[in-house]
Structure 1
Amino acid sequence: MVSQPTTPPPQGDKNASAGLLATTILVTVLCIILVSLRFATRIWIVKRVGWDDWTILFACLGHPIGMALVIVQISYGFGRPAYYLTPHQFQEFMKFAYGEWLQTFATLMFTKVSICLFLLRITITPAFIRPLQAAIAILIVSNVVLTLLWILQCTPHLDKAWNDKVSGKCFSKGQLERIIISQALISIISDFFLSAFPILILRKVQISFRSKLGLCALMGLGVITGSLSIVRTVLNWQNETSDPTWASIPNWYWRSWEVFFGIAAACIPTLRPGYKWLKGAMRTRFTKLSSGQEKTTEGPVSKWTAPKPSASDPSKGSRGKNNTENAMTATTTTQDEDILPLQNFDPSIRADIEHYPRGDETEEREHYPRDSKGNERRMGLHIPGDVSTHRPGHFKRLDSEAKVGGGLGAEEVEDRI
């Protein structure tokens, strides 16, 4: 246990508790907002909640607990030099600082496990799956061991860690520093490993360099967390100083932002479907407003009528009707096509939107497979063509030739995100 200093500090009785309180509240609120947006995206847009979402929820719960511990520490003198505290205040501060480190270990572990589970969502190749599974096992085992060492730093009475009046034996200052440094090294290595992993997953996906760079940047935000962890490790000596209530303030700031950016790195990539949905909704809204203004200024617009079938070919009547229905289907599904994956459509709707309009009987498409009704069928979302000119439509392929490991195409990767 660290003893309370007996000599006054050169800076006098300063108080930095206001900055500590504002920071812990800000970080906690931002984490709750990010995790709430993530669950809103998963529940109402993606309609799928996985283990990576539940683990990041556990990590987020650590922030309100940490904020409560910091507020109690501030009430007992955190932010002031320990020389000016009463023995009771110093003892209570050490008790709640002991618990705050346990919260930090658990929050960082759940955050990194969530990122591993998220990366497992977008890859199916054993060469990628096994390293991620090994990383999860290492993170859990190492953090459990370090947590137990921190809890059992004093024997036979655990409260010897903050109460020097209790008999017992505790780890030395160097041993406690090694526990914190070990946890920091595991955190740094895992942060940079998980930040580089998306590059390996996305390097063979045939998407634009700009999109690939954006996805890698979103999923590589752990670099910031790793950098903050390096600074926190360098400043680790401040935790075991003779004046922990004052000298450990810079270390606490770096550690708080490290935990926050870890949760941000886990949540921001998962908000991509929500961003695409919001972008599509705003585009549709602006389009409706624009068309409404045109109608008020230009007067009534005549309704479009489908071309009449030719008298020489009565079968064109039904075909024209089918084409009209396909065009109407395209009008309602094209906007949603960039928002929802094809797998979310009902099978009957998928059969309709995959049907080619008349006019696609070209030589290069003769090898396409057909269903029982003679309609061409192919994996992907079909965009119908122009009904009036019988111009053939096209497919937005979901089974792109570019495979990620075991067979995921570019759009499928985005769907799994």
Structure 2
Amino acid sequence: MSAAPPPLTLTQVAAIGENKGPTLIAVSALFIAICTVTVALRFAARASRSMKFDWDDWMSAVSLVLVILYCVTCIISVPYGVGKHTWAADPTEVWRIMEIAYFNALIYFTTHFFIKISILLFYKRIFTLNVKWFKWCVYALGVYTVGWYIGCFFAAMLQCVPPSLFWERFKPDGDMSGVCAVDNPALVISSSALNTVGDVLIFALPLFMLWQLQLKKSHKYALILVFATGAFAVAAGCVRLDSSVQAIELDADTTWITADIYMWTAVEAGVGLICACLPVIGPLFGLVKDRVSSYIISRSSKRGLRASTSDEESKIGYKSASGRPSNVSSSRDSRSAPSVENVGMAHSSPVPRPTQSGAGARGIVRTDEYSCESRPRVEPSSPV
């Protein structure tokens, strides 16, 4: 018969209601949304330039599926006690937490593998491989990533034989037949550390090539900034590593710290995927910016043209015998008027009245265009 747990301290009683579960759910949902939009924009950017999708694009799509899967498993773990303090969690549900943790470890390694391969394939496609040192660095990092993935994946999968023993041993009536031969704390620390080293090397590699490009300094710095965003993924990996070290201590508050590990793993994977897509999405932002600028300029030009036309029309009008100008809206109005006098600009000098007599010299003067000349008043002729 198992011994009864020790009584809670005053500090534990005060903290019994604390729960990081809602925060874990929010972070997971946030990165599901952000990563989905980011990968969608990546494919939209390629399609907008009528470019076929390449291997790095498809690898990013696989990475998105894995990031979503990881975040979903994190959300599922919350009702079983992840995010609560160990003394507040239900001890009969611990085996479920361990079962989710087992599959999360496999998803973690696979997700980072595909993200890294997507980035390396992008380097191979974009940067010239005529630079030997860069080419060999890309290949070497590819070998490093494959070796890291194979070693960590199978070590995690086979740390217990059969694998179900990893969580069955935490059941009150679980099947204890089998053996767990892999040192789990050593696996957790070494895999996280090697993953962080790989992130640093992969995200730092293009900075040397970008610095040598013949570009304006502003463009060069912008590109460097895009690739340097990988530093956020590296920082998240370091925080995750620190949380993993805390979780393997004998008196660790495991369910509480596990929430931190899951959160920072989601951040690390999500930011890594975003960094893999940003260089591809960049031209799409430029295209949208150009179209928006063209639309604004076009609208401004039309408003300026209408204002200019209105000003010109306000200067054109009829001038009556008393000298009062009246606005002329169109040539159609001039044809319907009984008598037309001095059609044109108000400040035009009058043209001398013609001295020719006869019906042919008289009548209504009609015009279809605005003119800057002054015309004489013409009286209708009397019958002969």
Give TM-score, length-normalised by structure 2: 0.72
Offset of residue 88 of structure 1:
3.7
Give, in whole Å, the separation in 1 of the partners of 2:293 and 2:90. 62
Q: Hey, what's the Cα distance between the residues in 1 that align with 2:281 and 2:50? A: 10
SS of 2:34 mapped into structure 1: helix
2:295 paired with 1:295: no
Could you list the runs of 5+ residues in structure 2 that have no partner in the other structure? 311-384
2:138 matched to 1:138? no
Match of 1:225 among 196, 215, 233: 233
Look up the match of 1:270. Answer: 280
Is residue 2:173 matched to residue 1:163?
no
The residue aligned with 1:415 is none
1:97 to 95, 101, 108: 101
Picking from 98, 107, 113, the partner of 1:109 is 113
Helix, strand or coil for the counterpart of 1:158? coil
- Aligned AA for 2:106? L
Cα displacement (A) at 1:106 = 1.0
1:364-409 Cα shifts (integer Å, max 9, x gaps)? xxxxxxxxxxxxxxxxxxxxxxxxxxxxxxxxxxxxxxxxxxxxxx
**How many angstroms does 1:134 deviate by?**
1.9
Aligned to 2:264: 254
Q: 8 Å contact 2:112–2:269 — kept in the other structure? A: yes
User: Is 2:67–2:266's contact at 8 Å kept on the other side of the alignment?
Assistant: no
Corresponding letter in the other structure for 2:238: I
CA-CA distance at 1:73 after TM superposition: 0.8
Aligned CA RMSD, in angstroms, stands at 2.2
CA 1:21–1:188 in 2, change beyond 3 Å: closer, same or farther? same
Larger radius of gyration: 2
CA change 1:203–1:67 in 2 (3 A) is: closer
Alpha-carbon distance in structure 2 between the residues aligned to 1:144 and 1:4: 41
What corresponds to 1:204 in structure 2?
Answer: 212
1:65 aligns with 2:69: yes
Task: Give CA-to-partner distance per residue, 1:172-231, whole Å, 9 cap, x none.
Answer: 6xx212222222222222222222222221233221122111101101221221122122
Query: Which amino acid in 2 is paired with 1:162?
Result: W
- Matching residue of 1:121: 125
Cα shift at 1:139: 0.5
Q: Which amino acid aligns with 2:294?
A: T
CA–CA distance in structure 2, aligned partners of residues 99 and 27 of structure 1: 19
Give the distance between the partners of 2:81 and 2:292, measured in 1 at CA: 50
Structure 2: distance between partners of 1:63 and 1:299: 59
Structure-2 change in CA distance of 1:4 and 1:108 (3 Å): farther
1:190 aligned residue: 198
Deviation of 1:260 (Å):
1.4
> Cα deviations across residues 120-141 of structure 1 (Å, max 9, x unaligned)?
1222223312210221122022
- In 1: Cα distance, 2:290 partner to 2:125 partner: 25
C-alpha distance in 2 between matches for 1:136 and 1:4: 51
Note closer, same or farther for the CA distance 1:247–1:195 as it changes in structure 2 (3 Å cut). Answer: closer
Tell me if structure 2 keeps the 8 A contact 1:194–1:220.
no
Poorly superposed stretches of 4+, deviation over 4 Å: none
Letter in 2 for 1:246: W
TM-score scaled by length of structure 1: 0.66
Distance in 1, Cα, partners of 2:289 & 2:197: 36
Unaligned runs of 5+ in 1: 301-417
